[in-house]
Amino acid sequence: MNKEINVLFLDDEENILFALSRLLMEESYGIIKTTDPDEAMALIEKHPIKVVVSDQRMPKISGIDFLKNVKQKYPDKMRILLSGYVDFVTAEEAINFGEVYRFLIKPWKTPYLKASIQHAIEQYDLVGSHRALYDASLKKTAELEELNKKLQGMYEIQRSFTSTVSHELRTPLASIKMAIDLVMGGTAGGLNEQQIKFLMKAKDNVDRLNRLINDILDLTKLEAGRMPLKLQMANIHDVIMEVVEIQGAVLKERGIYLKTEFAENVPLVSFDKDRMIQVFSNLITNALKFTDKGGVTIVTVFEEDKSRIKVAVRDTGVGIQPEDLSKLFQKFQQLGDASERKTGGTGLGLAICKEIVIRHGGEIWIESVYGEGSSFNFTIPVVKKTEENV
Ligand SMILES: Nc1ncnc2c1ncn2[C@@H]1O[C@H](COP(=O)(O)OP(=O)(O)O)[C@@H](O)[C@H]1O
Ligand SMILES: [Mg+2]
């Protein structure tokens, strides 16, 4: 059987080399021997050597110096010194400075010799496999980084594509809307009831498309951090009242209430008014949309210990099943069958709310009991800043 040559012996005495190779003939590794240190170096280069065993006293170079050279050139080879005379200082130094792995005394005790070489081989293999693992993980990390960069690039392209397309859709849509308005206004002659009905439907859908485009543009900008907040110190109640008044007007015939429960001690906070109106509009529209009896209450609380205002938009509507809660802040998520969906929604509202709240440094979450109602809650931190572009 051809054994792989894993062990090299260097000794200036041929008979020692001979004795050693006879002794280790039966081992699982192959050995190679030489009396010349230069040749030894060449052999290490040539064979898959794992362990180098060297004599100490040789004419050309001392064993320790030779092993130092080996260490410098092949740091992972295991090195064993085999010395005929006991020099404790040399041995101590060699071992403690890591020049050699084991120190054996001549005449050697065969079990020690065998065990030392065996351990050295195992150690070599262990280090090798660790290194291979490490190298593999470095390679994987590099691959992942590369992939990540690619994805980032693709994401950027998709983002700019989305925003360009959305912009481009606006102009033709505006002209469609104008044409519909003109026809409905009688500019092109009188219309019968059915024609008006069809045109109304067209108009509704144009409005819906417009909302969708605006939502997509907003969300793309928010996600890309390209929507600077115009922060100002103001009373959050004023913003809520603005939205409540608008929504209240359309509510009349539905027989449900829309009311507020404001805390009295709520301080002024820093926020972007237009964006906050967007949040409240969506939360309140949603709440009203999914409530058939009872109504909607907007509650504010000043959580002084946490330096934040907590706002809750509560409804007594359909509620949300626990397994659906986490889906709601994702884009284009609308619950229920398509046929059940109330018209007008885009499924982007809550995703936009979440981005806006987070950009303000707040948190947003939902509590809901299916069949009883939901509470959409978020916080606005109370900070002393007056203006900032984030
Ligand atoms: N107050 C609520 N009660 C029950 N379900 C709600 C409520 N608010 C939102 N939802 C659910 O979350 C979905 C996503 O809401 P949103 O992101 O605002 O999109 P949209 O209003 O355009 O459908 C809604 O379609 C609905 O299924
Ligand atoms: Mg909505």
What are the tens digits of pLDDT across the range 42-58? 999 999 999 999 999 89
Q: Is pLDDT of 359 > 50? A: yes
Q: What is the pLDDT of residue 146?
A: 95
192 CA → ligand 2 middle, Å: 34
- For 257, the enclosing helix (H) or strand (E) is strand 257-261
User: Distance between CA 22 and CA 271 in Å, rounded?
Assistant: 87
Q: What is the pLDDT of residue 190?
A: 86
Bond prior to 107 in cis (omega within 30° of 0): yes
Residues lining ion ligand 2 (Cβ < 5 A) are 282, 286, 349
Q: Is pLDDT of 122 > 90? A: yes
What band does 327 get if pLDDT is binned at 50, 70 and 90?
confident
Identify which ligand lies nearest to the alpha carbon of 372. 1
Best mutation site among 328, 340, 372, 378 for ligand 1 pocket (most ligand atoms within 8 Å of CB): 328
3-state secondary structure of 364: strand
User: Distance between CA 357 and CA 271 in Å, rounded?
Assistant: 10
Q: What is the mean pLDDT of the chain?
A: 90
User: Distance between CA 306 and CA 312 in Å, rounded?
Assistant: 16
Strand order in the sheet with 102-105: 30-34, 5-10, 51-55, 78-83, 102-105
Q: Is pLDDT of 38 > 80? A: yes
Q: Which CATH class is domain 231-381?
A: alpha beta
Among the CATH numbers 3.10.20.30, 1.10.274.30, 3.40.50.2300, 3.60.20.40, which is that of 5-108?
Answer: 3.40.50.2300
Q: Is pLDDT of 292 > 70? A: yes
241 CA → ligand 2 middle, Å: 19
Helices (H), the chain: 14-23, 37-46, 63-73, 88-96, 110-184, 193-223, 236-251, 273-289, 349-359
| Average pLDDT score over residue span 126-138 | 94
Partners of residue 328 on adjacent β-strands: none
Asked, colleague to colleague, whether 5-108 and 146-223 share their fold, the answer is no
Nearest ligand 1 atom, CA 347: 19
275, 355 in Cβ contact below 8 A? Answer: no
| Average pLDDT score over residue span 360-380 | 96
Express as a percent the part of the chain with pLDDT over 70: 95
Q: Is pLDDT of 187 > 70? A: yes
Q: What is the pLDDT of residue 389?
A: 41
| Average pLDDT score over residue span 353-358 | 96
Ligand 1 environment, Cβ below 6 A: 282, 286-287, 290, 315, 317-318, 320, 328, 333-335, 345-350, 374
pTM: 0.64
- Residue 55's Cα: distance from chain center in Å? 56
Q: What is the pLDDT of residue 308?
A: 96
Q: What is the pLDDT of residue 294?
A: 94
CATH 1.10.287.130 fits 146-223, yes or no: yes
Best mutation site among 208, 219, 286, 378 for ligand 1 pocket (most ligand atoms within 8 Å of CB): 286
334 CA → ligand 1 middle, Å: 6
Q: Which of 159-173, 199-213, 253-267, 349-363 has the lowest mean pLDDT?
A: 159-173
Residue with tokens 């950009």: 359
Q: Which residue has the higher pLDDT, 98 or 265?
A: 265
**Residue ranges of the domains in the chain?**
5-108, 146-223, 231-381
Express as a percent the part of the chain with pLDDT over 90: 70
